[in-house]
Structure 1
């Protein structure tokens, strides 16, 4: 279990994390969401004592991370897939971690086998692709067979098979009663993986709830109806006391009604329908709606850069497109 209480972090005048209080419980996958600059990475670094809080506390199974003896046996974390010595082989990278935490050397081969890197165990990591680096980072997190796992963007660089694998791995770990905390910007993947969500914006807690409740409370579900006789469709709906709003391309959108009920209503009035489609609420829609006021960086769709313009530091040549401030 991970417990945060009033966790706050200042960088000069910038408050990257603002009095965060929430609990990450065992047995479920807790997703950690927020726009760029929300403070997710800073929060995870403070959980691992890589950054010191300005105020507030984080406890791992009731203790501070720095108080843990052989911490990899309690917490396994992937925060940066590139955090490895490029001159070492995958095997020796993990062996170094194992020896520093009193972990038997036999666990190194087991971890490499789990993530599918046995065939490249003796190759230097500087030649690894991003996806291979991710797998090695995950192997490091699993090395001590910990009760608590933390992953920051774990599917970054993985191919479809790898994404499917890490999703099932996390579900299996949670099913064993372990605490699994995962941060990601991929809403579609988070929707398939997480059971519970913690959402922050500008360092503040915006939501701490189940996936189902988060979507229900922050998004809109409706049924799209389209008929060759749209005016009669409106009359039928009004006659039944059903509210609707105009939709795309002349369709009608009905909230709070079951599609089957609406289809039966049209059939009773011998009304031909060309479309009767329920639209389920999505995690992406719910996230965008909740965090709309917390987005720090906005792209402008009507801006078209000159085709021949050379990249500059101001245009992104130094930092790259979509650079993030510290605390993102």
Structure 2
């Protein structure tokens, strides 16, 4: 388990992480989300002792990272896949890590096989593609067979097969009772992988909840109803105190009722239905809704300004 208590990091007058308190539990994949500049990378670096907190504390199974003997046997992390010695072979890179953490030598071949790099084990990583470098970073994280794993943008550079593989790997690791903490900007992938979410914005905790509850609490859900008798269906719904909202194409949006309830009422009053479909927001839509006020960097579409000049993209929000 990873436990953060009032974790804070300041750089001068800039507060990058502001009194974060949450726990990452074993047995599930926990997603770590936030806009650019939210403090995710700084938080993960403090978890691993790479940055010193201004105040607060992080515990890895009850101890600080610097108190762990042979830390790779407790926690494995992928923060920057290219952070390797380019002159060493992939095998020797892992060998140095294994020797410094009392990891059995046979474990190197096991993780190289697992990530699909056995054939290039004697090649230097400086010639690796982004995806191959990512696989080597994942191999390093798994080297000590740790109970806790942290991944920052693990699918960067991976092809579709690789993305499918790492997604299933993280789920499998969690199913073994391990703690899996993953940060990513790919909402569609996070929605398929994580069961629990921790969301931060401008260094502050915004949400610490299950995936299902996060989407339900930060988005609007409704049932889309289409019928050749919209007025009759409106009156049927109004009889139980529900007022639908009509779309431009004549379909209705109904809130506060389940599809089965609407269908049963329509059948009772003999109203023909052509469509009865629940509409739920995506993780991306819910995330955008929650973090709208916490985005520090906004991109702007190129286009003419009122004075006829082209607009500037990527300006910082002031």
* TM, length-normalised to structure 2: 0.92
Q: Determine whether 1:96 maps to 2:89.
A: no
Out of 207-216 and 135-144, give the one that drifted further.
207-216
1:308 — aligned with what? Answer: none
Q: Which residue of 2 aligns with 1:311?
A: none
1:270 corresponds to which residue? Answer: 270
Q: How does 1:228-243 map to 2 (within 5 A)?
A: 228-243=228-243
SS for the counterpart of 1:293 is coil
Q: Which residue of 2 aligns with 1:326?
A: none
Deviations 1:222-265 (A, max 9, x none): 10112233333322221233232233533211112121221232
Give the secondary-structure state (helix, strand or coil) at the position aligned to 1:123: coil
What RMSD, in angstroms, separates the aligned Cα atoms of the two structures?
2.1
- Where 1:19 maps in the other structure, the secondary structure is strand
1:75 and 2:78 matched: no
* C-alpha distance in structure 2 between counterparts of 1:166 and 1:233, whole Å: 48
With over 3 angstroms needed to count, the CA separation of the structure-2 counterparts of 1:30 and 1:262, relative to structure 1, is same
Cα separation, 2, equivalents of 1:155 and 1:117: 16
Matches within 5 A, 1:139-218: 139-218=139-218
Do the aligned residues in 2 keep the contact of 1:6 with 1:21 (CA within 8 Å)?
A: yes
CA distance in 2, matches of 1:25, 1:248: 46
Cα deviation per residue 1:278-314 (whole Å; 9 max; x = unaligned)? 112432222111111111122234x238xxxxxxxxx
**1:190 Cα offset (Å):** 1.3
Q: Secondary structure at the match of 2:31?
A: strand
Aligned length: 311
- Unpaired runs of at least 5, structure 1: 306-314, 324-328
2:234 and 2:243 in contact (8 A); partners too: no
1:278-293 superposed matches below 5 A: 278-293=278-293
Distance 2:104 2:222 in 1: 56
Counterpart contact for 2:149–2:181, Cα < 8 Å: yes
Shift in Å at residue 99 of structure 1?
1.5
Of the two structures, which has the highest relative contact order with CA contacts closer than 8 Å and spacing of 6 or more? 1
Equivalence for 1:304: 303
TM-fit CA distance, 1:322: 9.4
After TM superposition, the structure 1 stretch with the greater mean CA deviation from structure 2, 3-12 or 284-293, is 284-293
Match of 2:219 in 1: 219
Partner of 1:32: 32
